[in-house]
Amino acid sequence: MSNISVAVLGAGMVGVAAALALQKKGFQVTLLDRRAPGEETSYGNAGVIARSSLMPFNNPSLFGNLPTLLKNQSASFRYRPQFLLHNVGWATKFLANARASVFRETTTALDSLIRLSMSEHAQLLRASGAAHRMRDNGYLMAYRQAAALGGAALARERMAHFGVSTEVLERDHIRQLEPALNPIFERALWIKDTWSVDNPGAVVKAYAELFRKQGGQILQARLKTLEPLAGSRWRVVGDAGGAVEADRVVVALGPWSRNFMATLGVHVPMAYERGYHMHFAPPAACNISRPIYDTAGAYVMTPMEQGLRVSSGVELTDLDAPPNPLQLDLAEAAARQAIDMGERLEPTPWLGRRPTLPDSRPIIGAMPGKRNLWLAFGHQHIGFSTGPGTGAILAALMNGEAPPVDAAPFRAERFLKA
């Protein structure tokens, strides 16, 4: 066993998966976060592990949609003008990376990361005893108007290019697959090689428990900053005065990575795509068997252990701006047209934050100019899907090995300098 100690900061899917992958390589790993594993962003997603997630929001079709999006009235996208004014650099780069050449590079990189992650997920689900939570019956992108399917031509071309298995469904076939749905969808695209889980937070906890059983240490602490020590080691400092020393550190704090890296004098060009969800209690005869994305209603509904989860679109605003339930209210109204959802099960909506870099790819690799500091953040909407692949890449790089897929598209030097 290696005597090299690693502190992994962040206990979401990305951090837990990185801790497991490093542990497998023989590193002595401590996992730290302010909350227990799987209780932040990784808890509230739609639970989808999808090959189709290779399509970034900033793709070439974004330019044609900008006039509508900028009106700030869409259920799929809302923004706070002051946030964009304060983050003009990020917004400009985000638009620049929607051009075709970068889009092709991004989809290629994300496809490799997603395929690697699905293989890693399969192993971890079995090893952690969480395989019973996984469904392999795919994911439906539903269209209320048949003509709207034509607007997905670019996504379908990219999915076909990478061999993603899909099938176009007519209204009758949709009802055969999901009889609880009202007949409001004329077409659907069935993404067949997609998995989903009934409780993403519980999956992260199962992975974390596997890490602990294998000798890993999990500490709960509110993290403040890092201090360099002799020999290129680090001290992780908490705001209550506690500290952990380690030979190497991995920052996997998701949307909180930007503020944490700022304590080291590093500016991370990150924005926060916030989103909301609510659970509902549909009648037993009115549930669905897989996630469904209503493209016109701009929500995803997923059958979960806690109830039917309805997740909203993107809210572009500050990390800790006050909650704004408008998008979720619009999503609920649209979802009630599609299915009998029953009553809300929580008094207030859940709010999560998705960390997005200008090219919609995560950073996975070494921090330039800071020895033994490694980064794994910026996974936008797909951290739950791509955490295990991220861990596999990072562990190989930190162990001096060739990564299982090309890691160059994820290098920190895209945005961060020494």
Could you please report the per-residue DSSP string of 353-400?
Answer: EEEE-TTS--EEEEPTTSTTEEEEE-BGGGHHHHHHHHHHHHHHHHTT
Q: What is the DSSP letter of 295?
A: T
Question: Residue 208: what pLDDT?
Answer: 98
Question: Residue 92: what pLDDT?
Answer: 96
* 55 occurs within a structural domain: yes
* 150 occurs within a structural domain: no
* 252 occurs within a structural domain: yes
* 148 occurs within a structural domain: no
- Residues 68 and 74: beta-carbon distance below 8 Å: yes
Question: Residue 197: what pLDDT?
Answer: 98
Q: How many domains does one find in the chain?
A: 1
Q: What is the pLDDT of residues 271-317, one digit of tens each?
A: 999 999 999 999 987 889 999 999 999 999 999 999 999 999 999 99
Q: Give the 3-state secondary structure of residue 244.
A: strand
Phi-psi region of 274 (alpha: psi -120 to 50; beta: other; left: phi over 0): beta
* 406 occurs within a structural domain: yes
Which residues have a Cβ under 8 Å from the Cβ of 162 and sit 6 or more positions away? 51, 54, 107, 111
Question: Residue 286: what pLDDT?
Answer: 83
Q: Give the 3-state secondary structure of residue 418.
A: coil
CA dihedral 14, 19, 24, 30 (to 10 degrees): 180
* 53 occurs within a structural domain: yes
* 122 occurs within a structural domain: yes
Question: Residue 346: what pLDDT?
Answer: 96
Question: Residue 266: what pLDDT?
Answer: 97
Q: How far apart are the first and last CA of the chain?
A: 32
Written as six digits, the tokens of 77 are: 């996208």
* 391 occurs within a structural domain: yes
Averaged over successive runs of 10 residues, the pLDDT of the chain (418 residues) comes to 90 98 98 96 94 93 90 91 94 96 97 98 98 97 95 93 96 96 97 96 98 97 94 91 91 98 97 96 90 97 97 96 95 97 96 97 97 97 97 98 98 94
Question: Residue 60: what pLDDT?
Answer: 94
Domain boundaries, position 404? 1-60+98-133+198-270+357-418
Neighbours of 267 (CB within 10 A): 12
- Residues 75 and 300: beta-carbon distance below 8 Å: no
Q: What is the CATH number of the domain that holds 36?
A: 3.50.50.60
Question: Residue 305: what pLDDT?
Answer: 96
